[in-house]
Amino acid sequence: MSNPSEETKRPIILITNDDSIAAPGLRALVEAVKDLGRIVVVAPDKPQSGMGHAITIGHPLRFQSAFLMDGVEAYACSGTPVDCVKIAVDKILHQKPDLCLSGINHGANHSINVIYSGTMSAAMEAAIESIPAAGFSILDYSMNADFSAAKKYVRSITEHILATNTNKHLLLNVNIPALPESFLKGVKVCRQANAKYEEDFEERKDPHGKSYYWLTGQFINFDEGDDTDVWALANNYVSLVPVQFDLTNYEMKLELEKNWKF
C-alpha cells in the first residue's frame, strides 16, 4: 500500500449480482477476473431477480462477511442489487471502486430486459455513481450452466475496460450464448432490440377458492435489424450494448416544444 505505482496496478473491482451470493454465476465471474485487481464482492443474501432499479427505503439494510473463495473479500447484503452497490461504496469500500462487474446472470438480459434486470440495474447504479460498469448474463437459466466460454469473454471485456476506458459513466450490457467456445463467433457491439414480453398471467385457485396469479409471458421480437443484441445472440455472437441512463427522449422533446402549446 506504500508503493503508489504498485497500487495503481491493482484496481479495486466491486462484484455483485441479482441471483444472490450463493449463485454459481457470481463465482464464475469472480474466477474470471480474480487476478485483475483487488476483488470485493457485495451481493444480495437472497435471489433478487426482476428487482430492476429498486432501492430499500422503508426499512434498514444489513450486511455481513461471507465466504466465497480463498483470497476474496465477500459480503452478503439484505437489500436489492442497487442497494448492494450503494452500501458497498459508502460502508464497505469507503471509496469508489475502479470498476463494477455484475453477474454472471443465470438467464438472458438482452433487449428490454435491461430495464427489469437487477443485474443490469446494479451495474447502472455504479455508472450513475461514476464507476465504469458492466453486467454479464448467460443465456441459460440453469444453476448448472456451463460458464467456461462465458468466463473467457468476461475476462477479455474486463481487460478491455481496464486498458482503454476513460469514461466514468461507461455501462455495458453483455449477453453470452450458452454454447461451447468453438461455436462462439466473437463480440458484437449492438443496440437494444425492440422486443418485449407479452404477459399472460396464469390464474390458480388457493384452497379457499380465491384467485392468485403467476406472471408468465412470451418473448416477442419486433425488431428485424441485424444490429441488435437479439440478432447477435441468435447468430452465436456475444452481444455488447453500451447503455445510457439519460432517459430523455430528445426527438420527442423537439416535437413537443414545437407542437404543444400550454
Residue 194 engages a copy of itself in binding (rule: CB under 8 A): yes
Q: Given candidates 22, 66, 187, 234, which one binds a copy of itself under the rule CB under 8 A?
A: 187
Q: Is the dihedral of CA 107, 110, 111, 115 positive or negative?
A: positive
**Which contiguous run of DSSP H or E holds residue 203?**
strand 202-205
Among positions 127-166, residues that touch a copy of itself (CB under 8 A) are: 128-129, 156, 160, 164
Q: Given candidates 15, 133, 149, 240, which one binds a copy of itself under the rule CB under 8 A?
A: 240
Binding mask 97-116 for a copy of itself (x = CB under 8 A): ---------------x-xxx
Closest separation between CB of residue 72 and a copy of itself, Å? Answer: 22
Quick check: helix, strand or coil at residue 181?
A: helix
Residue 87 engages a copy of itself in binding (rule: CB under 8 A): yes
* Residue at 75: amino acid letter: Y
Residue 209 engages a copy of itself in binding (rule: CB under 8 A): no
Residue span binding a copy of itself (CB under 8 A) among the ranges 19-27, 66-74, 120-128, 142-150: 120-128
Q: Given candidates 69, 143, 189, 220, which one binds a copy of itself under the rule CB under 8 A?
A: 189
Nearest-angstrom CA–CA distance, 71 and 34: 9
Residue 192 DSSP class:
P
Q: Which residues pair with 195 in a beta bridge?
A: 221
Q: Which residues pair with 152 in a beta bridge?
A: none
Q: Given candidates 7, 10, 90, 225, which one binds a copy of itself under the rule CB under 8 A?
A: 90
Nearest-angstrom CA–CA distance, 149 and 153: 7
| Grid cell of 68 as nine digits | 466465497
Residue 17 engages a copy of itself in binding (rule: CB under 8 A): no
Nearest-angstrom CA–CA distance, 21 and 81: 11
Residue span binding a copy of itself (CB under 8 A) among the ranges 4-12, 26-34, 45-53, 93-101: 45-53
